Amino acid sequence: MSSRGIGCVPSQGGSDRGSPFDEAERLRFTSLRPPAASTPPPPNSKAHAAGRSGAAPSVAAPLSRFVSLILLAAFLAFGAASAPAAEDAPDSCVACHIRLGGRLGPPVREFAGSVHREAGLTCVTCHGGDPSLPGEESMSPARGFRGKPGTRQVPEFCARCHSNIAMMRQYNLRTDQLAEYRTSVHGRRLYDKNDTNVAVCTSCHGRHGIRRKTDPLSPVFHANVPKMCAGCHSDAERMKPYRLPTDQLANFEKGVHGQILSGKIPGKNPSRAPNCATCHGIHGASPPGIREVSNVCGNCHGAVIGYFRDSPHFKAVQESGEPKCVTCHGNHSNRKPTLKVFSGSGPGECGSCHEAKSRALEFAGHVRSLLGGIESSIEELGMDLAEAERTGRNTEKLSAALDGARYKLIEAGPAVHAFSIEKILPLIHDADGFIRQARQEVRISREELKQRRSVAAYAVTVLLLLAALLGVKLALLPKNTPSGEIKG
């Protein structure tokens, strides 16, 4: 940012003139500038000759140099003290609004920490006017004052800069936000139905205190988005005309995605968890269509979508729209799948759609049995591994085999979505092979431990026997007569 500070900006005509304060400072500094040093006489001049002949030097020369140094020091001191004042010199917009209360004062303080101020924007950039003029004269329409844009004008208002490719290139920002917004539910209602109750740019990003999306204090920071959206979507009165539910945030916070995003699941990275915009879009926000759900979920769950597209469920979605990902897993309150999904009849469980003793439930029961056996074995071997680590045994091979079984079980999760035993059995067989290796390592480890204990017991027995023999030997040794004692 230039030394003119927040308030000293180019005028509407495009000239880059400073404020009256800057001009006054410049004049003051000029008046304090030390006089230019005199030019030495030419080598062949009489003055030069006089100097060489040993003429007494003038007392005025050292004094002049001393005075010059004093003035220079004063100039530098004044400059250092005045620089912050010039940097922070407010224009009439700031000077006036910073003294106001109510809703007119906070914007100045909010703007001081915004990314727009950091980029060199000022009040005039958005609102127009002439900050060099005092009072309401600075807000004259003749001076280009635009004032506050209405809700309907906000998207185009922001797009004056944010749709400018040349301007946004230096910040690596997209320039299609307005085009996307026009396709969103918010944009269509704003422009087609003149509904100013919908969200516009300032509804999400704020007005004067706009921050980068990577700033944790920004309402559009990754982890803050759900609460930002809930500012409108949890407002029952505001959602009433649209007949929309208002429990999305509460449900999301209970779901596995919300738990990860809030950092409540150890080992899971919150920055990788989805928020509202991940599924609904950002500027082009809209609810996913029936046939788009699997594509939206597949953006993160790529391994799952490949199997799902080979399944009978995917064919049913194309024909009737059901069952979608959210049918089984939920949307905002998405559930973490467990083995109960194959045998239960509650929401999202196989029995909620398929009849008892049907072929589909028979398949589900078979899959539950296979996966359940692997899970139980892994849990059992995990306890064996912990025991081996406590006793100081080498667990490298056991740990590797157990990890292999876990990875194959994880791979089987997406494969289940193909609803084909041919897709699942190879992974189950691989997992079972790792489990056999792990059990063999447990047997070897236990045998080694048994041998170590036997050797230790033998060693202890030998040591005790030697100690006993040594004690007997000492007991059989003759006792020496104390010195000085006279035998009778």
- At which residue do the structure tokens 């004049």 appear? 27
Residue 78 has pLDDT above 90, yes or no: no
Top pLDDT among 14 and 287 is at 287
Instruction: Tell me if 423 is assigned to some domain.
Output: yes
Assess whether 154 and 280 both reside in one domain: yes
Task: Give the per-residue pLDDT at 358.
Answer: 92
As a whole number, mean pLDDT of residues 87-109 equals 81
- What gap in Å lies between CA 58 and CA 63, rounded to an integer? 9
365 and 268: one domain? no
Does pLDDT of 250 surpass 60? yes
Confidence tier at 10 by pLDDT (50, 70, 90)? very low
Number of Cβ within a 10 Å radius of residue 86: 19
List the structure tokens of 68: 């010059």
State which residues form the domain around 234: 149-287
Write down the pLDDT at residue 476.
Answer: 84
180-183: Cβ within 8 A, 24+ apart: 180/281, 180/282, 180/283, 180/284, 181/155, 181/283, 181/284, 183/284, 183/286
- The CA–CA distances, whole Å, from 41 to 49, 215, 296, 471 equal 10, 64, 85, 115
pLDDT at 54: 43
Split into its structural domains, the chain has a count of: 2
Residue 7 has pLDDT above 90, yes or no: no
The CB-based long-range contact list for 136-143 (8 Å cut-off, 24+ gap) reads 138/92, 138/93, 143/12
The answer to whether residues 277 and 155 belong to one domain is yes
Place of tokens 């000077």: 95
Tell me whether residue 77 is in a domain.
Answer: no
- The answer to whether residue 409 scores a pLDDT higher than 90 is yes
The reported pLDDT for the residue numbered 65 is 65
The Cα 422–Cα 404 span in angstroms is 20
pLDDT of residue 479: 74
At 275 the pLDDT is: 96
Who has greater pLDDT, 71 or 292? 292
Q: 3-state SS of the chain: helix, strand, coil percent to 5?
A: 60, 0, 40
Lowest mean pLDDT among 75-84, 134-143, 152-161, 366-375: 75-84
Confidence at 25, pLDDT banded by 50, 70, 90: very low
The enclosing H or E element of 126 equals helix 123-127
Say what the pLDDT of residue 64 is: 61
For residue 15, the model assigns a pLDDT of 38
Rounded alpha-carbon distances, angstroms, from residue 439 to 131, 146, 313, 432: 80, 77, 38, 10
Are 270 and 364 in a shared domain? no
User: Quick one: 163 and 256 in the same domain?
Assistant: yes
What is the distance between the alpha carbons of residues 120 and 6, in angstroms, rounded to a whole number? Answer: 7
- On the question of pLDDT at 169 being above 80, the answer is yes
Cis peptide before 323 (omega within 30 of 0): yes
CA gyration radius, the chain: 41
Q: Are residues 369 and 255 part of one domain?
A: no
Residues 284-335: tens digit of each pLDDT: 999 887 678 888 999 999 999 999 999 999 999 888 888 989 999 999 999 8
Q: Burial code of 88-106, b = ≥16 C-beta within 10 A, e = fewer?
A: ebbbbbbebbeeeeeeeeb
The 10s digit of each residue's pLDDT in 45-63 is 444 444 444 444 444 555 5
For residue 425, being part of any structural domain is answered with yes
Boundary of a domain, candidates 256, 287, 318 = 287
Which of the residue ranges 29-43, 169-183, 415-429, 437-451 would you say has the lowest mean pLDDT? Answer: 29-43
In whole angstroms, give the CA distance from residue 256 to residue 331: 11
Q: Looking at residue 156, what is its pLDDT?
A: 96
pLDDT of 239 above 90: yes
Q: Which of 256, 250, 263, 254 is nearest to 223 (CA)?
A: 263
Q: Is the pLDDT of residue 354 over 50?
A: yes
Q: Does residue 143 belong to any structural domain of this protein?
A: no
Mean local confidence (pLDDT), 413-425: 93
In angstroms, the CA 111 to CA 371 distance is 57
Question: Which pLDDT does position 95 carry in this prediction?
Answer: 87
What percentage of the chain carries pLDDT values higher than 90?
58
| 169 contacts 270 by C-beta, under 8 angstroms | no
Shared domain for 261 and 374, answered yes or no, is no
Backbone dihedral region of 244: left (phi > 0), alpha (psi from -120 to 50 degrees) or beta?
A: beta
Top-confidence residue, 98 or 429: 429
Considering 257, 272, 287, which residue would you say is the last residue of a domain?
A: 287
Is 480 a member of any domain?
A: no
Q: Domain boundary at 238, 260, 287, which?
A: 287
Tell me: do 260 and 375 sit in the same domain.
no
| Same domain assignment for residues 177 and 283 | yes
The mean predicted confidence, pLDDT, of the chain is 83
**For residues 129 and 150, what is the distance between their CA atoms, to the nearest angstrom?**
18
Confidence of residue 17 (pLDDT cuts 50, 70, 90): very low
Looking up residue 429, the CATH number of its domain turns out to be 1.20.140
81 in any annotated domain: no
Q: Which stretches of 33-88 are DSSP H helices?
A: 46-52, 60-87
- Please answer whether residues 73 and 67 qualify as being in contact, where contact means their C-beta atoms are separated by less than 8 angstroms: no
Which of 180-184, 256-260, 450-454 shows the lowest mean pLDDT across its residues? 450-454
What the block records as the tokens of 20 is 């009256």
Is residue 477 pLDDT above 70, yes or no?
A: yes
* Per-residue pLDDT tens over the stretch 172-216: 999 999 999 999 999 999 999 999 999 999 999 999 999 999 999
Within a domain: 326: no
Q: Is residue 352 part of a domain?
A: no
